[in-house]
Each structure stands twice: as C-alpha cells, then as structure tokens.
C-alpha cells in the first residue's frame, strides 16, 4: 500500500507569543514539525506534503533541512483544517494510495499507532484516531455505534449529551487519496466557527454508504502544543520517556532526572551517564562508554570504551575511536581522534585529525582560524604534545614526535623529532628586588599627589 503524508503546519500559534511559527519551537532539540515528520517517516511514505502558512519560508527551510524530498505548499488563508488539507490536492494529483493527515504541533503519535490505523483502513474507508481523555474539556467528540464512527462533533457545536462523551478526536485521519479529495470538495463552513472542518469527513463518508471507524491510542500520543507551558510539559514527557528507554536499553544513570536527551540520541548498553549531562542533536555513544558529569555533547560519535568529561564539550563533527579519553574542560569540534588517544585537560581541538595512542598535554590549542579561513591540524600516532602547546594550523606533526611545553608550532614536525619553539629564559640577578622598590616608590608618590 502506497502512503502519502499530509502534515498541517500553517497555524500562527498566537498563544506562544512568539515571532517563531509554533511548529518550529524546539522539543528535545528538534522543531515540533520534525517530530511529526519522523513519526510519519516510519511508514516509508511515497510523498510527504507539509502545509505551511504563518512563517511559511521558515517552515519550508526547516522541513527541507530534515527531509529534502518533502514538498511544502502554502495555505495563504487559514480557513480551517479541511481547507488546509485540500492544499495538498495538486501535489498528490494522480497518487493512488492512503493519505494520512498529521499535525505539526502534535509530536508524540507513534509508529505503532499509525500502523494500527493502516491496518484498520483495510476494512474501513475512513479511519480516525481517537483517545479517552482524562479531561475532555473542549476536544471534539467521536460519536460511535459499536466499531462504526457516526460523526465527529466539535465542542462548540455539540449538545450536552454529546459533550458527555469521553472519546475524543485527535484530528489524525487515514483515507484513500481519491476519496479524501472528493469529500474535501463537498465540505462547507456552515458551523459555529465558519470554518471548513476536516471533522466533517466521517459524515460525508456515511452519506456515500461508506464506513468510518476509530483506532484508539493513549492520550499522551495526542498531546498538542499551543503554549510555552504545554511545550515545557511536552519536554518533560519526552525526557521521562527517553530516560525510561535508556534504562531498558542497559544504560546506567545515577541521577536520571538531570540527564537530557535529544530526539535522536543513541546510547549503547553498559554506558554510564553521570549527573547533569546534556545530549543535543546528532549524538551516538557506543557501548561501555562513560560520560561524566556536566558534559555537553552535540553532533558527535563516541566509540566503545570512551571516557568523556567531566565538564567536556563535544561539538559537531567530533568522531572518537575506541578508548579515547577527553577530560575536564576540553572542547572538540570537527575532530577525528584515533584509538587510545588522550586529551585530558583544558584543551581545544578543532578541525583536526589525531592518530592513535597520542597524548595531548594540558592547555593545548589547535589554532585553526585565521580570521577568515579554517585550517587543519594533523597529529600522528604515538605523539606527545607538551602542555600549553599552540599548534598554528595548517600544521602536521609526524608519528612519535614530541613538542616541548609552551611551544608555538608554526611548521610541520617530522616523525620522531622534538620541536621546541619558545624564547630562551633570561635571568637578571637582583632585578626583582630593585623593580619592586621602584614600583612601591612610584605608588607612594601617586598617593601623596592625590
């Protein structure tokens, strides 16, 4: 069965009180929209159509950055959910298969639930995702008879009897493409809000003698984000689930409530994550690593047996081989580090390749930026870089070479060589005492003058 996704992402989100479109507010390191796209991507869709409106250019850029194959269309007037879904009509012209309509501000719908909707769609013409709400509040209600969905009633249009129903509408719909767009053409805006409602679809289907049904999911999957408070609650819910999953996957966390994961964090079994660690987007940590307290990782890969931190920062492009040690107050960016190499203290390694079993002394800096261009530093195998060495890129340090502490290395060092690049020490006997006397006399004179 071919699948097409239509993700509605046109709302302004005025209750966010933000210049940023609602669907671009971040959750676990990714825009809300990306979470919806990821959920749908599990179905291997043939087409993904994003319906943008407010901040359409920003939404388009974010969507294409995540999936360059998706299509973004614009809803220039926000006239309701049916009108929004209908904006995908031209892009899906000739498509034969099932369309699933998702929402860019509803990030937690699971792949399993969408799979259940597709399965139900084999025996029904329209499938709607519903949930039993702890507090139905102002949700639309699903009116059913057995397994048949009779209609969806928006809260503002519902009778008191209908408002007593606890089965609520998530808005997620699965329907045959041809049938969906035929019914969208028939929907009017004769309702309290004067909008074209996607919720009219089940009644339109029944009027054709077709069948609509409901697939139920947990209420937590249908959580929509409309305010910053709800966004914070969603973040807490995501982190609780991510921590639980990490435990089940064999990760040790002594203080899990202080560890924060991104939407795509991958951590292998028998890894220890100490308190107050943040994983931003794009991090993979293999089995048996240790991430020590107060470290921040983003866009990096830590291989088996690595020890990171405390107080380490790994930035995008960092690739660490097995048994690498990155110690306290070390920052790395766009660096490839070979097996067993150690960068233990107070160093910056950027735009660099480090070989195997090398030792990078405290206070080492790869001086990679000249104010205009970035340049590369290459350090070979079994190299010893002395403390407080400045490596002015581009520079190549050969295998088994050594640099003396406090050196400023501006040219290549051949294998097995010792490189020293510092001014000779000069000592002047008695000069310190004379200098202090001069300075104290000068200070006393200034105080008398004031």
Catalytic residues: 345
Q: Are 353 and 377 in contact (CB under 8 A)?
A: yes
Close Cβ partners of 351 (under 8 Å, ≥ 6 residues apart): 333, 334, 335, 366, 368, 374, 375, 376, 377, 393
**H and E: helices and strands count for the chain:** 9, 34
Q: Report the relative pairing of strands 307-308 and 325-328 from DSSP bridges.
A: parallel
Q: Estimate to the nearest angstrom the gap between the alpha carbon of 242 and the chain centroid.
A: 13
Degrees, nearest 5: CA angle 112-117-120: 125
CB crowding 122-159: b at 16 or more within 10 Å, else e:
eebbbbbbbbebeebeebbbbbbeeeebebbbbbeebe
Instruction: Give the helix/strand (H/E) hosting 350.
Output: strand 348-354
Give the C-alpha separation, 274 to 287, whole Å.
15
Q: How many angstroms separate the CA atoms of 14 and 21, rounded? A: 9
DSSP for residue 183: H
In whole angstroms, what is the distance from residue 301 CA to residue 74 CA? 38
CA–CA distances in Å: residue 327 to residues 3, 287, 304, 314: 48, 19, 16, 11
CA distance 207 to 209: 5
Judge whether 37 and 45 are in contact, CB under 8 Å: no
Instruction: For strands 313-314 and 331-337, give the pairing.
Output: parallel
Return the axis-axis angle of helices 56-66 and 32-41, rounded to nearest 10°. Answer: 40
């Amino acid at each position: 069965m071919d699948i097409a996704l239509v993700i509605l992402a046109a709302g302004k989100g005025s209750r966010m009180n933000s210049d940023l479109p609602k669907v671009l507010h971040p959750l676990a390191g990714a825009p809300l929209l990306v979470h919806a796209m990821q959920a749908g991507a599990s179905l291997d869709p043939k087409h993904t159509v994003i319906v943008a409106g407010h901040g359409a250019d920003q939404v388009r850029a974010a969507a294409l950055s995540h999936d360059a194959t998706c299509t973004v269309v614009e809803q220039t007037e926000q006239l309701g959910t049916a009108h929004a879904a209908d904006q995908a009509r031209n892009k899906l012209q000739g498509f034969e298969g099932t369309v699933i309509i998702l929402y860019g501000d509803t990030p937690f719908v699971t792949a399993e639930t969408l799979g259940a909707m597709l399965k139900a769609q084999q025996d029904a013409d329209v499938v709607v995702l519903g949930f039993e709400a702890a507090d139905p509040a102002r949700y639309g209600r699903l009116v059913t008879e057995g397994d048949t969905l009779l209609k969806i009633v928006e809260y503002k249009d519902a009778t008191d009897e209908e408002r007593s129903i606890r089965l609520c509408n998530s808005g997620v719909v699965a329907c045959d493409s041809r049938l969906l767009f035929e019914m969208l053409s028939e929907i009017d805006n004769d309702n309290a809000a004067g909008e074209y409602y996607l919720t009219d679809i089940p009644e339109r289907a029944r009027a054709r003698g077709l069948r609509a049904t409901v697939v139920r999911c947990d209420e937590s999957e249908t959580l929509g984000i409309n305010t910053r408070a709800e966004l914070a609650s969603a973040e807490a819910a995501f982190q609780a689930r991510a921590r639980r999953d990490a435990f089940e996957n064999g990760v040790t966390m002594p203080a899990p409530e202080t560890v924060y994961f991104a939407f795509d964090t991958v951590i292998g079994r028998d890894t220890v994550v100490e308190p107050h660690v943040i994983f931003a987007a794009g991090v993979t940590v293999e089995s048996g690593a240790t991430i020590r307290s107060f470290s921040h990782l983003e866009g990096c890969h830590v291989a088996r047996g690595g020890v990171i931190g405390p107080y380490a920062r790994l930035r995008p492009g960092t690739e660490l081989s097995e048994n690498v040690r990155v110690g306290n107050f070390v920052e790395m960016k766009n660096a490839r580090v070979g097996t067993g190499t150690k960068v233990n203290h107070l160093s910056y390694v950027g735009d660099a390749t480090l070989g195997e079993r090398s030792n990078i002394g405290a206070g080492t800096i790869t001086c990679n930026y000249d104010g205009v261009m970035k340049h590369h530093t290459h350090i070979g195998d079994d190299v010893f870089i002395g403390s407080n060495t400045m490596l002015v890129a581009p520079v190549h340090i050969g295998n088994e070479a050594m640099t003396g502490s406090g050196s400023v290395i501006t040219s290549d060092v051949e294998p097995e060589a010792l490189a020293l690049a510092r001014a000779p020490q000069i000592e002047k006997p008695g000069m310190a005492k004379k200098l202090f006397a001069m300075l104290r006399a000068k200070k006393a004179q200034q105080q008398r003058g004031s």
